[in-house]
Structure 1
Amino acid sequence: MAIKKTNTFSTSSKHRANLTPWLGIAAIVVLFDQLSKIAITKTFVLGEEKLITSFFNLVLAYNRGAAFSFLSNAGGWQRHFFTAVAVVAVVFIIFQLRRNPGQRMFCWSMALIMGGAIGNVIDRILYGHVIDFLDFHFAAIGHFPAFNVADSAITLGAILFIVDELRRVNKN
């Protein structure tokens, strides 16, 4: 009976090579997210707004909850809960990226979501809240909840994921 040898170095190197571009995209999202948050916190005080256009302001806001300030006044437990959810999501995304390296739109969506999740986790760990600053408003609707670059990446990633899934379903 012959024992088949496997070269674990080349296998793990191959997986790393497949992950590298997607981890790079996630890192770029984190970098832009964190740099934009540093700039806004150095320039604004909490609640300060600067009108940019008739429908867009920059504003420094803190969000202790999730999207749209969901659970923002829940007493503090939500910080740890949303951090844990994001960490689990990042681990799951890395697993999915390793499993599906040839599906480009899927990998783009996962990389964007992962970068956004990491950006917001950094805020929760360092400050106890997420820093938001992009504020869109329309006369008929009012103000949309403030958000940040990480939230934008998560949203774009979710849209790409849905488009990718719809394309895949329509192929069958």
Structure 2
Amino acid sequence: MIQKSPFKFFLLTLILIALDQGVKLAVHHYMAPGFAGQVKLVGDWLKLHYVLNPGMAFGMQLGHEYGKLLLSVFRLFAMIGIGYYLVNLAHRGAPNGLLWAMAMILAGAVGNVIDSTFYGVFLNNAPYGSPTPWFHGQVIDMIFVDVWEGFIPDWVPAWGGQYYSTPIFNVADSCIFVGVCLILFFQRRFFGDQHVEDHMLPVSGPDPVEASVLPAEEFIEDDQKLQEPESAQNEDEVPTDDIQQETPESVLPDEEKRAE
């Protein structure tokens, strides 16, 4: 495969990060939180609804004093790992579809890392009682697909007996979701070619570098031996004692000729 430059894929990442942060800041400055500032976009099922998410996706949290800090650090390392993996895939010549999907996932990871790292300081939205505003910022969510709301049955672990609605998310979450779905739906196309090429390689065999080459002199001598007549090759093998030499009549003495 031909190596590719990751520049254009990182460019998409930067564009999506800018879009995500622009929407979040606009919602923070121009919308009121909760139902008071809710804006209907498409009927009653697609709305803008400003909420703060102190934890992970869909509002899930780590039940520990430093759970938010651990989550922020994890997001930071995940962002670095995804970026490195994107560069590695580009240098290996991976399909463009896979690289675009990874760029979207990276944009989503970076967007939420920015919220967690800086919003507690610059937007002063860290939860009350946080050890430090750094790495404790709350993620701003605003996209509300209102298709269900109500109380969850009591037998459901963790969330049972509480009132919930369809999760509210943001542009960064959407990028991660779309990128993961693309990889899952097209995994055979993204990884199939590489899988076939790996199976086409020989399992074992001689190393071309270590293969011996017949010297030119020996090759010429062997070729000459093959071209010589068989009779000529066997002349030296016939014993001289078994050869009966005949004397031509022209060399006999005159006396012997007259006697005959």
Specify the alignment match of 1:62 in structure 2: 52
Specify the alignment match of 1:6 in structure 2: none
Higher Cα Rg: structure 1 or 2? 2
Q: 1:71 to 1:65 in 2, by over 3 A?
A: same
Q: 1:168 to 1:87 in 2, by over 3 A?
A: closer
Q: What amino acid sits opposite 1:147 in the alignment?
A: F
Specify the alignment match of 1:107 in structure 2: 99
Structure 1 residue 168: Cα displacement: 4.9
Q: What amino acid sits opposite 1:145 in the alignment?
A: P
Structure 1 residue 61: Cα displacement: 1.1
What does 1:109-128 correspond to in 2, within 5 Å? 109-127=101-119, 128=137
Q: 1:137 to 1:69 in 2, by over 3 A?
A: same
Q: Does 1:51 align with 2:40?
A: yes
| Counterpart-to-counterpart distance in 1, 2:48 and 2:149 | 20
Cα deviation code 1:97-156 (max 9, x no counterpart): 334444111101100000111111111111112111001112578731110001101111
Identity of aligned residues (%): 26
Q: 1:59 to 1:140 in 2, by over 3 A?
A: closer
Q: How large is the Cα RMSD of the aligned pairs?
A: 2.7
Aligned length: 158
Aligned match for 1:25, one of 4, 7, 12: 12
| Counterpart-to-counterpart distance in 1, 2:98 and 2:62 | 31
| Counterpart-to-counterpart distance in 1, 2:116 and 2:73 | 10
Q: 1:60 to 1:82 in 2, by over 3 A?
A: farther
Larger displacement relative to structure 2 (155-164 or 86-95): 86-95
| Counterpart-to-counterpart distance in 1, 2:16 and 2:10 | 10
| Counterpart-to-counterpart distance in 2, 1:169 and 1:103 | 8
Specify the alignment match of 1:89 in structure 2: 81
> Which residues of structure 2 form unaligned runs of 5+?
120-136, 151-163, 197-260
Q: Is the 8 A contact 1:86 1:121 kept in 2?
A: no
Specify the alignment match of 1:11 in structure 2: none
Specify the alignment match of 1:75 in structure 2: 65
Larger displacement relative to structure 2 (116-125 or 142-151): 142-151
Q: Does 1:164 align with 2:186?
A: yes
Q: Is the 8 A contact 1:64 1:72 kept in 2?
A: no
Q: Is the 8 A contact 1:100 1:107 kept in 2?
A: no
1:18 alignment partner, SS class: coil
Larger displacement relative to structure 2 (162-171 or 49-58): 162-171
Structure with the bigger RCO (C-alpha within 8 Å, sep 6+) is 1
> Which residues of structure 1 form unaligned runs of 5+?
1-14
Specify the alignment match of 1:38 in structure 2: 25
Specify the alignment match of 1:138 in structure 2: 147
| Counterpart-to-counterpart distance in 2, 1:54 and 1:102 | 42
Q: 1:89 to 1:170 in 2, by over 3 A?
A: closer
| Counterpart-to-counterpart distance in 2, 1:98 and 1:170 | 16
Q: Is the 8 A contact 1:113 1:157 kept in 2?
A: yes
Larger displacement relative to structure 2 (39-48 or 152-161): 39-48
Q: What amino acid sits opposite 1:106 in the alignment?
A: L
Q: 1:99 to 1:147 in 2, by over 3 A?
A: same
Cα deviation code 1:32-75 (max 9, x no counterpart): 10111111111113324223321022111111211111216643
2:65 alignment partner, SS class: coil
